[in-house]
Amino acid sequence: MINFTKTKRSFFAPLFIIISFSLSLNASLIIKNDGILPQKTVDKIEQMGSELKEKTGVNVYLAAVKNSNNKKIGDYEKEHSKALQKPFVLLTILLDSKKLDIVNSKELNNKFDKDQILSPMPWSGSILPLLTSHSKNPKAAVEAALLNGYADIVEQIADSYDVELKSSIGSQNKMVYDIIKFIFYGTVLLIFINFFYRKFKK
């Protein structure tokens, strides 16, 4: 006689393992999104991150938090980093406290340039210049900044592993970013010209 209970257990045990493994492979790389990123941006980030993970084993996570409940970004990072699959990078933004940071497991210390990515300089940084561009649509500015920053991290890591990402937004993304920088510098230049013109006119 076949023991149905034992058979059921012996069947579901490996099935559970298979399902769990499958879920871990398809686990979202966006661990938090408080309605900050629209679905099309979420899909693009997941596409880039999943391809990088498949080709290098590196996980690049993103947490977009609207209300931090007065929690410091360092505490938030420590809390979530414990559950992340290594090797990993975590890009975190806390909108209410205007905090932004990147942390990573030690295996990736030399795989990307954190200082460059987080630089406030328009000719270097890939996130802050967009966040502080004084856009008429702040939500769109945040969306563009996070997508740009995430893409920069993913592309730098891919380059360090000498792999090419088909999902990379590369040249198209850089062209948009160059246009934004051109507008930024153009505006600053016009302000200076106007200032000196008024000064000499007086």
pLDDT, one tens digit per residue, over 48-67 is 999 999 999 999 999 999 99
> Percent of the chain beyond pLDDT 70?
72
Band (176; pLDDT cuts 50, 70, 90): low
Average pLDDT over all residues of the chain: 80
- The CA distances from residue 81 to 61, 78, 89, 119, in Å, are 10, 5, 9, 23
Give dist(CA 74, CA 7) in Å, integer.
48
Q: Are strands 30-33 and 88-94 parallel, antiparallel or unpaired?
A: unpaired
What pTM value is reported for the model?
0.74
pLDDT of res. 36: 94
Q: For each of the domains in the chain, give its residue range(s) and CATH number, in order of start.
A: 28-201 (3.10.310.50)
Residue with tokens 């900050």: 36
pLDDT of res. 12: 39
Q: Residue 143 CB: number of other CB atoms within 10 A?
A: 18
